[in-house]
Amino acid sequence: MAQADGSLVRVVTRHGTVGGRYEAEARSGRRVAVFRGIPYAAPPVGALRFAAPQPPAAWDGVRETTAFGPTAPKVPNPPPFDRLLPDPEVPGDDCLNLNVWTPDPARSARLPVMVWIHGGSLTRGSSAVPVYDGASFARDGVVLVSLNYRLGVLGYGLFPDAPPNRGLLDQIAALEWVRDNIAAFGGDPSRVTVFGESAGAISVGALLAAPRAAGLFARAVLQSGAPEVLPRDRVRTMVRRMASLLKVPATAAAFAAVDRSVLLTAQAAVLKRSGLLFGGPAFGLVTDPGSVPSDPLDALTVAGPDRLSDRIPLLLGWTTEEYRLWLAPTGTLRILDRLGPLAPALARLRTGKDRAAVRALRTVHPAAGPGELAGQLITDRLLRDPLRRLADTRRTAPGYVYEFGWPSGVPGMGSCHALELGFVFDTLAVPEAAWLAGPDTPQELADTMHAAWVSFAATGNPGWAAWDGSGPPRVFGGPVAEYGQDWQDGPGGATKPERVLP
pLDDT tens digits, one per residue of 198-255: 999 999 999 999 999 999 999 999 999 999 999 999 999 999 999 999 999 999 999 9
Q: Are 107 and 184 in contact (CB under 8 A)?
A: yes
* Spatial distance between the Cα atoms of 227 and 210, rounded to a whole number of angstroms: 11
Identify the residue with better confidence: 395 or 240: 240
Q: Is 198 a catalytic residue?
A: yes
In total, the chain counts a number of residues equal to 502
- For residue 149, CA distances in Å to 52, 157, 169, 437 come to 12, 14, 9, 26
> Looking at per-residue confidence, does 279 or 326 come out higher?
326
pLDDT on residue 375: 94
Residues 127, 98 contacting (CB under 8 angstroms): yes
Kindly tell me if the per-residue pLDDT of 400 is higher than 50.
yes
pLDDT of amino acid 274:
80
For residue 494, what pLDDT band results from cuts at 50, 70 and 90?
very low
pLDDT on residue 138: 98
Residue 501 clears pLDDT 60, i.e. is over it:
no
Q: What is the pLDDT of residues 331-342, one digit of tens each?
A: 999 999 999 999
Q: Is residue 493 pLDDT above 60, yes or no?
A: no
* Catalytic annotation present for 417: yes
Please tell me which residue in 322, 372, 403, 420 is annotated as part of the active site. 322
CB atoms within 10 A of CB 368: 15
Q: How far apart are CA 499 and CA 187, in angstroms?
A: 34
Q: What per-residue confidence (pLDDT) applies to 499?
A: 30
Compute, in degrees rounded to 10, the torsion defined by CA atoms 64, 67, 69, 71: 180
Question: Which pLDDT tens digit goes with each residue over 404-418?
Answer: 999 999 999 999 999
> What's at 15, amino acid-wise?
H
Q: Residue 14's CB: how many other CB atoms inside 10 A?
A: 11
**Is 146 annotated in the active site?**
no
Q: Provide the pLDDT for residue 362.
A: 87
Instruction: State pLDDT tens for residues 267-317.
Output: 999 999 886 566 689 999 999 999 999 999 999 998 765 666 788 999 999
Which of these ranges, 58-67, 190-199, 258-267, 344-353, has the smallest mean pLDDT? Answer: 344-353
How many percent of the chain have pLDDT more than 70?
A: 92
Catalytic residue among 121, 127, 146, 198: 198
Confidence of residue 485 (pLDDT cuts 50, 70, 90): very low
Q: In the structure, what pLDDT confidence band is assigned to residue 394 with cuts at 50, 70 and 90? A: confident
Per-residue confidence band for 28, with pLDDT thresholds at 50, 70 and 90? very high
Least confident interval from 5-9, 343-347, 376-380, 397-401: 5-9
Segment 145-154 shows an average pLDDT of 98
Q: How confident is the model at residue 455 (pLDDT cuts 50, 70, 90)?
A: very high
Q: Does the pLDDT of residue 111 top 50, yes or no?
A: yes
The predicted structure's pLDDT at residue 319:
97
Mean residue pLDDT of the chain comes to 92
The mean per-residue pLDDT over the stretch 14-43 comes to 97
For the chain, how big is the Rg over CA atoms in Å? 22
Strand 187-197 versus strand 219-223 pairing type:
parallel
The catalytic position among 25, 121, 127, 417 is: 417
- The C-alpha atoms of residue 318 and residue 302 are separated, in whole angstroms, by 22
2: left (phi > 0), else alpha (psi -120 to 50), else beta?
A: beta
More confident site: 145 or 3? 145
Average pLDDT, integer, range 138-160: 98
Q: State the average pLDDT over residues 163-191.
A: 98
Which residue(s) pair with 283 in the sheet? none
Question: What pLDDT shows up at residue 308?
Answer: 63
pTM of the model: 0.93
**What letter represents residue 417's amino acid?**
H
Q: What is the mean pLDDT of residues 467-482?
A: 79
Q: Are 223 and 383 in contact (CB under 8 A)?
A: no
pLDDT at residue number 466: 96
